[in-house]
Structure 1
């Protein structure tokens, strides 16, 4: 699966995380290409606080692409970049890039360089990274034979460049070990996102277990009883953990509705006069511009295309198909396409009201303190994503939150 690219309102291109042939498929925070108001230093402090309540050793990894050179590699605790050596086929073990993390109740500070990548953290065991001829092979949690499948871990995605820092908490691939991210502004205040409500971690899993329709199949548990993660529904469909037809009823109703009435998409908040109108003809939804010319068409999607925002809902980084597709993807996942013929619907009060919806995403958002999450690839449509940004970051944070 190609890496998913996410677009913010600025339509800036996301920088793709280094991947190998079994890598997870998610995007990094998109960045606005604007002049920096202040010189962003080559590294900034990154403070990791362990409030998890767990006693295992924590391991930290800072992996990604060095923006100045385009090389893939890792950064050590001081922020120094190390390029990956060449890989092989089959993939060869990567150098140990782990940093010993803080114990429960303690904090430590490392340095983030100008990178686009991921900060991984694992509990009790180091992650197993390999190098293929095409680059780093990252953990693929949907694959039970992946060497990391029985390790409790998670990651944040970030980009630090001359225009500032973008850092998120992500559940695009899985919901697992809880954490939050933040950034300190020049005036000393902080912006943060990703914290669960009290009891939110167990609340999410308990709610998913009780959801009819096979959604409990997304949960992965270790043989010792440790709950490791819930797979995102796209991975659940691909692995057989979630029925492939789980969205069919909603898809059929959407297709029937717009065979008889128009669906209007206004994809850019800053360009309200740019509109596209969709109408269904047979198995195809055709979109026309204001002149009536067909600009793009979509085959009737399946659940995998909807959950992954790819395949039949592919979203290239262009000015027409990509913006329409991301709007459709958000509407299908949030089940707003039947209730509002004018998309995107940006009001969270309208989301997930249909009985057929992305219940995984619904339940994650319900448990977030600020209601924000990256529960699917284009959860940033309408600014509902768990992302913080500042153009002049002084320090960034990652907090390992309690499980109970």
Structure 2
């Protein structure tokens, strides 16, 4: 059974009767809880999205209704499926969500959330489409390298002798010595995991076209993984699950690692074809909208970010001390004709007092008489002039 709902909506609980098992898995649970149970949340919680928090819920009970949030995407459990579309959709086709994914995350233009083709593989396709984005993002930090223990059996002893292996391989003695040595290596279990994911994607009908979006990174991974062997896939998955990346510098690789494991395990267990697994991929609609606006304004506007502490401003300065930390969504680069822009993922009729007070505070801070509110209804731009 499949149910389609809209984000930021109130839905009567009776509509969820046909997917009651799935509803029990997600209702009144936070995104953090769902992420631990196997749901992939984009962008990563807390770190990137100003609107997304670990305590946020997909469905929250309120009397006889469930209230949905800014989250869009796809969830499945057994034979039950839930699709959360944008509230700005007219009809069955979620063109807005599709468009935002194409512009912000560079999804291929053939994705269709509400397609009737191969419904069981819809989540798998979503995960695959995310792969180039996460690969490019991770490899901006350079190729991931770690110490690994290499085993040698030659005359150039440079490590710890492996007695058991030496007796096994070098009896009678012919001059070689079996030894182990810890060395920095780019060809490690993380990079091997990425290589296995690349090889799996290549087998999809659209795989090569999709991988061209990150062809330099893909070529580098393939060149680096000289030890790659298809039959080692299960071993590589297990090693990555036992050793998740923990270093804060490599958080991008940690996200990529988790995505690769989900892609490989999804295909291995054939989730969606009768396996009783809870699975899903979710997107923050407000974050997608704000990042889309950034693609339009990036040449002429700064884009402060709260979570990463980029471009912070202050409302007040008292005794040379700045207070009242703020992060306007967009600040024009032209400081002589300063304009403050605010992205709102809501219909125009829902722009109310708090929204106006927010932009007014920004305007008074920058001593401006013009402010822009970008509203997510029919791509409308609303400009407010104040005198």
TM-score, normalized by length of structure 1? 0.25
Q: Structure 1 or 2: larger helix share?
A: 2
Bigger Cα Rg:
2
Q: Structure 1 or 2: larger strand share?
A: 1
- Relative CO higher for 1 or 2, CA cutoff 8 Å, sep ≥ 6? 1
